[in-house]
Amino acid sequence: MIFTTFAFVLFLAVIFTAYWSFTSFKVQNGLLVLASFLFYGWWDVRFCGLMFWAAGLDFLVGVGLEKSTNPRARRALLCVTLCANLGLLGFFKYYNFFIENLQAALATIGSPISPSTLYVVLPVGISFYTFQTMSYTIEVYRRRMHATTSAIDYFAFVTFFPQLVAGPIERAYRLLPQFETTRRFDPAMATDGCRQMLWGFFKKMAIADNLAIAVDTCYRNPGAHSGPQMAFATICFAFQIYCDFSAYSDIATGTGKLFGIQLMRNFAYPYFSQTIGEFWRRWHISLSTWFRDYVFIPLGGSRTTAARTAQNILATFTLSGIWHGASWNFLIWGAINGLGVLPTALRKSHVIIRAHDTPGGESLIPSPVTLFRMLRTFLIICLGWVFFRAATIHDALSILRGFVVDAAHPSAYHLPVTGSVKGLAALAMLILAEWVQRRRVYPLDVPNWPRAARWLAYTALFWATLYITPGTRSPFIYFQF
């Protein structure tokens, strides 16, 4: 089920009402599990079996890890769960990619083979929930938390529908305890949730879906568009993917609040970052920190030689790239970002700006230096987006060549804005609102405004969203990962 559908609104109303009519948190968890399977099965009921199997195995492994004191047995159990989860990902996501590349490689050395590729439907959100369950078993293995013995609580944690298919990828030690205690309805929290959802709907439906028109037109046929047109489309894509993905996180977090569950923050105004490192502390925070905790630090992190640190950073970012999809484009995208992070990461003395710090400093008007750094970071990120969005490496390279070659031709500056004008106007409003409100978790959080002004803002946003959104069905981009 997609958030921006009529079906979801009906579903949410029914589940919300039923959920708060029970007082036992166990019953509430049971209801959430049922609702989550319905939510997930809405795409394809076969996916439910897969999720049940993956999550169920990790539950049993968790219990085994908790009970066992034999280090070898515990390691074996951890191996089982890692192999099972990574095996699932490998089969559904990377099998065809691996076979095709193996085929191509063997053909170049004169040993052609013809293994069969499979027509496999990628289960929605598999990368998200497998990472979440892996985090659970790793934490239990490390004895940083106790395994739960309640299957219902555990399944509520893994399958919690707001964040099931596109995150935030929650850590068990943060989310699971919330399902193990009684929850009381908090009107302030629920109101905040509705507001955050409204903001998410606006970003997705009014901005991302409109920008998608220009982006898709250009990237579908890059050869027919000039360098400046592709540059414009790339900038549009940068905001499309931000508004799309952060909108999902906003709606997920807002929905979670309606059920008394606090999900982690996933975006913190990333395009106001002044370095690539800062960008990655503000973009898809739940995935970045997952890779930091379970890949980068185990590899040795940054408390080692400069060469080793650089190697660890590049390995982590490349893996993060390939997590997004089975293609060389994603791998290169990851590597570009890894290279972008290196200069600041290797300068160990510099001050690290965290996600909760105000981006771009405290001043309302940014200094020229700050503005320059933000623009520089944004442009480097956009270079990476070219590889992320282009269909092939060849396309990406020809797009990058076009940026340079066509730059001097005035005739190349006819920008394909048709169809995206409303989205661009809404985007300008978003950038302004985000900058002014960047101390808040999301810009619509305006508790100090008079009630009439707040309601006016919500009403305007609601109708603007309905009016501006294009009349097409657009799933969230990150569903494909």
Binding site for other proteins (CB under 8 A): 1-2, 4-7, 9-10, 20, 42, 119, 185, 187, 190-191, 194, 221, 224, 455, 458-459, 462-463, 466-467, 469, 471-473
What's the chain's length in residues? Answer: 481
- What distance in Å separates the CA atoms of residue 432 and residue 479, rounded to the nearest whole number? 28
Contact call for residues 68 and 52 (beta carbons, < 8 A): no
Tokens of residue 463, six digits = 């109708």
Which helix (H) or strand (E) segment is 231 a member of?
Answer: helix 227-258
CB-nearer residue toward other proteins: 190 or 393: 190
Closest CB 249 distance from other proteins, rounded Å: 20
Backbone angles phi, psi at 118, to 5 degrees: -110, 150
- What distance in Å separates the CA atoms of residue 428 and residue 436, rounded to the nearest whole number? 12
Closest CB 341 distance from other proteins, rounded Å: 38
CB-nearer residue toward other proteins: 6 or 368: 6
Backbone angles phi, psi at 442, to 5 degrees: -145, 150
Q: Which amino acid would we find at residue 176? A: L
Closest CB 458 distance from other proteins, rounded Å: 7
Closest CB 215 distance from other proteins, rounded Å: 17
Closest CB 196 distance from other proteins, rounded Å: 15
Exactly one of 324, 350, 356, 414 is catalytic; name it: 324
Q: Cβ contacts of residue 101 below 8 Å, gap of 6+?
A: none
CB-nearer residue toward other proteins: 292 or 454: 454
- What distance in Å separates the CA atoms of residue 180 and residue 352, rounded to the nearest whole number? 35
How many Cα atoms sit within 13 Å of 40 on the Cβ side?
28
Contact call for residues 366 and 374 (beta carbons, < 8 A): yes
CB-nearer residue toward other proteins: 114 or 418: 418
Active site residue 350: no
Backbone angles phi, psi at 284, to 5 degrees: 40, 55
Closest CB 297 distance from other proteins, rounded Å: 42
CB-nearer residue toward other proteins: 10 or 369: 10
What letter would DSSP give residue 480? G
Cβ neighbour number for residue 221 with a 10 Å cutoff: 10
What letter would DSSP give residue 417? -
The CA–CA distances, whole Å, from 359 to 108, 250, 287, 342, 362 equal 49, 19, 20, 20, 8
Q: Dihedral angle at the C-alpha atoms of 387, 93, 175, 27, nearest 10 degrees?
A: 140
Q: How many Å separate Cα 192 from the centre of its chain?
A: 21
71-92: burial string, b at 16+ Cβ within 10 Å, e else: eeebeebbebbeebbeebbeeb
Residue linked to tokens 């027509």 = 119
CB-nearer residue toward other proteins: 113 or 120: 120
Work out the angle at residue 236's Cα, subtended by the Cα atoms of residues 234 and 240, and round it to the nearest 5 degrees: 115
Closest CB 414 distance from other proteins, rounded Å: 14
CB-nearer residue toward other proteins: 157 or 199: 199
- What distance in Å separates the CA atoms of residue 301 and residue 295, rounded to the nearest whole number? 8
CB-nearer residue toward other proteins: 101 or 221: 221
CB-nearer residue toward other proteins: 53 or 463: 463
Closest CB 467 distance from other proteins, rounded Å: 6
> Cis link prior to 270 (omega < 30° from 0)?
no
Closest CB 54 distance from other proteins, rounded Å: 25
Tokens of residue 465, six digits = 């969203």
- As annotated, the active-site residues are 324
